[in-house]
């Protein structure tokens, strides 16, 4: 018979990323019970926890997941920028430049001696 700890490990190793709620829903265990087994697995080095992300089978699985998601979110950010401004991003920080030219920022820069009076 397979133990609960082994079942948790199998679930984590079967997916690129695993969240606590997914394991709880699959195994129908309490959060406290799951926490106990997850701490054991992390302590023993059988799985890796990246806080705010989830559980991974090892560091290389996290690196792959992170690289894929960074590319995907980066592409979306570029689409949003073009949609808001109506033009292609030139690689400059356009928001910074617009802010720096505003009247309020010019007054702040004048007080600090960074802009002409």
Contact (CB, 8 A) for 57 and 63: no
CA-based nearest residue to 6, from 30, 48, 40, 32: 40
pLDDT digits (tens, 9 = 90+) for 49-75: 988 888 999 988 888 888 888 766 555
Helices (runs of H) and strands (runs of E) counted in the chain: 6, 2
Indicate if the pLDDT at residue 28 is higher than 90.
yes
70-89 pLDDT, tens digit each = 766 555 444 444 444 445 55
Residue 51 or 24, more confident: 24
Pull the structure tokens for residue 61. 């699985």
Which comes out higher in pLDDT, residue 1 or 28? 28
What's the CATH number of domain 4-58, 3.40.50.150, 3.10.450.50, 1.10.10.10, 3.40.50.20? 1.10.10.10
Average pLDDT over residues 30-46: 93
Residues of the chain with CATH 1.10.10.10: 4-58
């Amino acid at each position: 018979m397979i133990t609960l700890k082994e079942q948790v490990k199998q679930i984590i190793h079967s997916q690129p990323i695993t969240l606590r709620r997914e394991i709880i829903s699959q195994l129908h265990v309490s959060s406290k019970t799951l926490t106990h087994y997850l701490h054991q697995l992390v302590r023993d080095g059988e799985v890796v926890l990246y806080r705010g992300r989830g559980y991974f089978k090892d560091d290389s699985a996290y690196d792959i997941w992170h690289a894929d998601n960074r590319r995907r979110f980066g592409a979306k950010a570029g689409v949003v920028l073009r949609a808001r401004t109506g033009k292609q991003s030139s690689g400059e920080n356009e928001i910074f430049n617009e802010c720096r030219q505003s009247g309020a920022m010019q007054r702040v820069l004048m007080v600090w001696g960074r802009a002409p009076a």
